Structure 1
Amino acid sequence: MNHGPSYPTLQPRIACVTSARLPELGEDDQPLLPALAERGLDARPVVWNDPEADWASYDAVVVRSPWDYPTQAEAFIDWYEKTSAVTELHNSLDVVRANQHKGYLGTLWERGVPAIPTATVGSPTEALAVARRHGWEQSVIKPAVGLGGRNVALLTPERAAELEESGMATQWCVQQFMPSIRTEGELSLVYVNGEASHAILKHPGDSDIRVHEGHGGRHAPYRVTDELREIGDQVLTACDASNELFARVDVVRDESGQLRLMELDVTSPCLYFLYCPSSVDVFADAVAARVHGDR
């Protein structure tokens, strides 16, 4: 019996945003593509500043590894504005715009959120003066827009002079240094759809304070404790990020043992899928739910 022509079922198209340096996504994000395919989603990596990309042709755009954006911060936000106007973009524009500049850390600290004391300055020399004024025995300097630990270091007069001589035209953030990062490490709590998913414990390399693997850091899975969830929920609420697809809350203990926010990343965080393989399915389910209107 002829029931008429058959038409192919159209799969929702998902763009997983990356950079030209990582055209197939970062290694940690690559398991996401087959996981999305298993849920009937046609997912593919797309470079964020590819002039040929047709963002309106995608049912959803999920930002994953556009890790060159700090050197093109204004262009990235411009892309974000244009793309969010033609398709569903995760995470949302307002939250990403507020998160891109690390000055939000000082704002949270001033509002009483348990963040590491942080100030935004115009130069490394000014950072030294601010650290002295606050009485911080040791402090850390980092670019106000940056990721991956680039140009992050303990602040000393010598380091400040080096950064001044580099001619980097940028704002800087100076944070009180938390010595526990060397003994207890830094904890990262990953959220998916506003719910705590999994956690990672990160230790810096032997001769560094940075926990990134590219700088010698060591990572391992960690349990999601009530203490971690409590500070994570507080930070997401304070930043209006509780309804976003993904977030990563990085914390470290102060000298009294209290967890303090080091950074919140709702822009393009590594979500450590490779360390917690089941989390790939959690994330893929979350994407599918949003695409199908179940979230």
Structure 2
Amino acid sequence: MGTPRVALASCEELPGLDDDGQELLRALAAHDVDAAPVVWDAPGVDWASYDLVVVRGTWDYVPKLPAFLDWADHVASVSRLLNPPPVIRWNTDKRYLAELERAGVPIVPTQFLAPGDEPDHEFADVEHVVKPVVSAGSRDTLRLAPGDPRSRAHASSLLAAGRGVMVQPYLHEVDEHGETALLFLDGQFSHAMRKGPLLAPGMELVEDLYAEEEMSVRDASEAEREVAEAVLTAIPHGLGDDLLYARVDLLPTPDGPRLLELELTEPSLFLDHHPPGAEALAKAVLRRA
């Protein structure tokens, strides 16, 4: 068997990946895997020449979603893509939260609006967050005060552009506790991170590729571990069978942790904060390649 050839899919604005991706590249090199970052929509790439393509830093997919989904299908037809296209198709639209809630997962209360709906919502009288159902890196996301006229205007603008909208109450417990991101690699819990509060009062829209995050390693509580495991168990049948990675983002509430997002497409895995995770992921890649 020859040296496995692996592509780590990146994007034009960050073609060489971030520190997280570089940590994985070093771990793969230590296992004699021929791995390199490749911009997902670069012309002329021979994806069939790779034994495995791992989606890592494709953070510009939001305005190009149909092309991104077509790319995923194409790569999977000539090589192996992880996570697989059906997972990506399901996970890039945050209406999956409603499906998980119906399966019994405690989620952050969420109202979804579809193009054609009025831009009004049930959380207008409390501090709340308005964002599109297809988004990454906190782009097109606003934290809004009760009665802020920008709420209706932002929702209206997104809906007029043909984009679905989600509205959630802002949970103030996050200001002190932060989010907890639980990382699962090859189906096993690896590590957890504290993400500091990201959305500021009166914030403007994020213009960069993604909003900068304040990160630190944290020990996940037993309750957080239980909710995260329940989230992964609730993934629709067949989609959770071969996940190379998963990130479960939880917010604290007086009633226990609630799911904010389940990241199965291109999440930061914070391997630079937890090097054993890079080794575990490299071994999982090697097994599949």
The answer to whether TM tops 0.5 is yes
Is the Cα contact below 8 Å between 1:190 and 1:248 reproduced in 2? yes
Separation of aligned partners in 1, 2:90 and 2:114: 19
Aligned to 1:139: 128
Q: Secondary structure at the match of 1:142?
A: strand
Q: Secondary structure at the match of 1:65?
A: coil
1:155-166 to structure 2, matched below 5 A, reads 155=144, 156-162=148-154, 164=156
Separation of aligned partners in 2, 1:209 and 1:269: 26
Find 1:200's aligned residue among 193, 200, 209.
193
Is the Cα contact below 8 Å between 2:118 and 2:156 reproduced in 1? no
1:95-134 to structure 2, matched below 5 A, reads 95-122=87-114, 126-131=118-123
Aligned-pair distance for 1:172? 0.9
Query: What percentage of residue pairs aligned between the two structures are identical?
Result: 35
C-alpha deviations, 1:165-210, integer Å up to 9, x for none? 5764411111232111112110000110111101100112594599
C-alpha deviations, 1:9-44, integer Å up to 9, x for none? 731100000011111112321121121011121001
Structure 1 stretches of 5 or more lacking a match? Answer: 1-8
Q: 1:205 to 1:165 in 2, by over 3 A?
A: closer
Q: Secondary structure at the match of 1:94?
A: helix
> What TM-score do you get using the length of structure 1 for normalisation?
0.86
Separation of aligned partners in 2, 1:16 and 1:149: 23
Q: Secondary structure at the match of 2:94?
A: coil
Q: Secondary structure at the match of 1:188?
A: strand
Find 1:172's aligned residue among 143, 165, 170.
165
Find 2:229's aligned residue among 222, 233, 256.
233
Is the Cα contact below 8 Å between 1:187 and 1:200 reproduced in 2? yes
Structure 2 stretches of 5 or more lacking a match? Answer: none
Q: Secondary structure at the match of 2:152?
A: helix
C-alpha deviations, 1:89-126, integer Å up to 9, x for none? 10011111111100111222233211112232136984
Q: 1:63 to 1:209 in 2, by over 3 A?
A: farther
Q: 1:62 to 1:208 in 2, by over 3 A?
A: farther
Q: Secondary structure at the match of 1:83?
A: helix
Aligned to 1:14: 6
Of 159-168 and 26-35, deviating more is 159-168
Is the Cα contact below 8 Å between 2:3 and 2:34 reproduced in 1? yes
> What TM-score do you get using the length of structure 2 for normalisation?
0.87
Higher relative contact order (CA 8 A, sep 6+): 2
Q: 1:247 to 1:216 in 2, by over 3 A?
A: closer
Aligned to 2:252: 253
1:264-275 to structure 2, matched below 5 A, reads 264-275=262-273
Q: Secondary structure at the match of 1:17?
A: strand
C-alpha deviations, 1:128-150, integer Å up to 9, x for none? 33436xxx733311111111111
Separation of aligned partners in 2, 1:181 and 1:127: 26
Aligned to 1:288: 286
Find 1:85's aligned residue among 65, 77, 82.
77
Structure (1 or 2) with the larger CA radius of gyration: 1
Q: 1:246 to 1:206 in 2, by over 3 A?
A: closer
Q: 1:209 to 1:94 in 2, by over 3 A?
A: farther
Of 178-187 and 25-34, deviating more is 25-34
Report whether the alignment pairs 1:35 with 2:35.
no
Separation of aligned partners in 2, 1:174 and 1:159: 9
RMSD: 2.5
Q: How many equivalent residue pairs?
A: 278
